[in-house]
Amino acid sequence: MANFVLKGHICQSQDRTHLGIRENHYLVCVEDRCAGVYPILPAKYRSLPMTDYGDKLIMPGMVDLHIHAPQFSFRGLGMDMELLDWLNTHTFPEEAKYADLDYAAAAYGQFVAHLRRSETTRACIFATVHVPATQLLMEQMEQSGLVSYVGKVNMNRNAPLYLAEPSTIASVRNTRRWLEETAGKWQRTKPILTPRFIPSCTDDLMYRLADLRAEFDIPVQSHLSENFGEIAWVRELVPTARNYGDAYRKFGLFGGDHRCIMAHCVHSDTLEMEYMRQNGVFIAHSPESNMNLASGVAPINKFLDYGLKVGLATDVAGGSQESMFRAMTHAIQASKLRWRLQDQSVAPLTFDTAFYLATRGGGEFFGDVGAFEPGYEFDAVVLDDSNLDHPQSLSVRERLERTAYLGDDRNIYAKYVAGTKLF
Ligand code: GUN
Ligand code: FE
């Protein structure tokens, strides 16, 4: 277990509306956890190894609550379709390629290398239906040093024959095999149950997955109320449900006794919000994806006011990039257009709130993660913004804001995950 001290300008989210900046402070890691932020290093820590990052910024690692690893290969393509056509035209043909382990090894290698270089320290990841390729991805994620949940996808209907699992029994059998072979196998990489979305899974499969979820005591991730065409389809597929969220709830896959992430929630109404609040469901807000697939813009401040748990996500390849800084920028920009054009009752997002979503908001899904509070897991990213030149003097806060808007992976100088230095 690692014990060390970092020095620099410490930037973190205090709460939903406040960034906290501590210039030239010491950040202490004891046994892989944060032991505090200090202006003067307490005597008891003076014997620990120290890295002085000088004028650089040190922030908590960012948490990507929703990303599709197999879609990284076609990021930036096919962005002129809505969700259901995009799935059939681009996504399903690409995901079918992961039956080939050589292709999966190459494609996942690129995905993992990019994620490792990025500001992301933790992620919740969709794989494909294929068990061997999903295990290969989990192995690669473990080697990367990042912390993740990875899900073998379930889909036994409304997908091409070359990709869909042929029956409920086959889907359950594959999922059980995957869970038996991966549960407890790795330190940083854990399985998460991943029914793709309601249109992909028959009712009987959903009930069986809920049984497996309980048996293996794992969390759940899926998609919810993303796009109008999809929502109308779910209404037809599960006519007894009061809304899309209620369909998951009926099947026992909507939080409550387990942790659960639902991506998007662009069009969730008050009743769906109430179900999410009652069940502690996390919303993975994916603003770039929601623009690319013409889904809309989720009312994030309304969700936060209502007491919902919200994190930020890239949703590659609905989103085109793995960068959480880009996701923050897109979240702010989309919220302003929503406010201007659609609904002035929901205030646009500030930089402070976007930073909160990217760190503490999603971090909560992983436990004590997303801030430098005593006892929190030690995830830190060191930023070097010296290439973003400027003639005037800027505050540390302004430098952080600019790095988020303008920066890229060249600005990621060092990265620590759960107390381990990756680079
Ligand atoms: N809904 C079901 N599958 C997907 C997917 O792969 N991406 C997005 N954005 N939404 C989905
Ligand atoms: Fe998605």
Contacts of 286 (CB under 8 A, 6+ apart): 66, 263, 264, 312, 313, 314, 315, 318, 319, 327
Residue with token string 């999966």: 104
> Which pLDDT score, from 0 to 100, does residue 204 have?
98
pLDDT, tens digit (0-9, with 9 covering 90-100), for 7-58: 999 999 999 999 999 999 999 999 999 999 999 999 999 999 999 999 999 9
Compute the distance between CA of residue 131 and CA of residue 154 in angstroms, rounded to an integer.
11
Contacts of 313 (CB under 8 A, 6+ apart): 64, 65, 66, 67, 124, 263, 284, 285, 286, 289, 319, 327, 362
Percent of the chain with pLDDT over 70: 100
129 alpha carbon, closest ligand:
1
* Closest residue to atom 3 of ligand 1, CA basis: 196
Closest atom of ligand 1 relative to the 197 alpha carbon = 2
- What integer best gives the mean pLDDT of the chain? 98
> Which pLDDT score, from 0 to 100, does residue 183 have?
87
266 alpha carbon, closest ligand:
1
Mean pLDDT of 332-359: 98
Closest atom of ligand 1 relative to the 295 alpha carbon = 9
pLDDT, tens digit (0-9, with 9 covering 90-100), for 173-229: 999 999 999 989 999 999 999 999 999 999 999 999 999 999 999 999 999 999 999
- Ligand 1 pocket residue status of 288, Cβ below 6 Å: no
Find the 87 Cα to ligand 1 centroid distance in Å.
7
- Helix, strand, or coil here: 22? strand
Find the 392 Cα to ligand 2 centroid distance in Å.
41
Compute the distance between CA of residue 8 and CA of residue 56 in angstroms, rounded to an integer.
6
- Ligand 1 pocket residue status of 197, Cβ below 6 Å: yes
pLDDT, tens digit (0-9, with 9 covering 90-100), for 372-405: 999 999 999 999 999 999 999 999 999 999 999 9
Mean pLDDT of 105-113: 98
> Which pLDDT score, from 0 to 100, does residue 265 have?
98
Confidence check: pLDDT of 349 > 90: yes
Confidence check: pLDDT of 101 > 90: yes
Closest atom of ligand 1 relative to the 91 alpha carbon = 6
Closest atom of ligand 1 relative to the 200 alpha carbon = 2
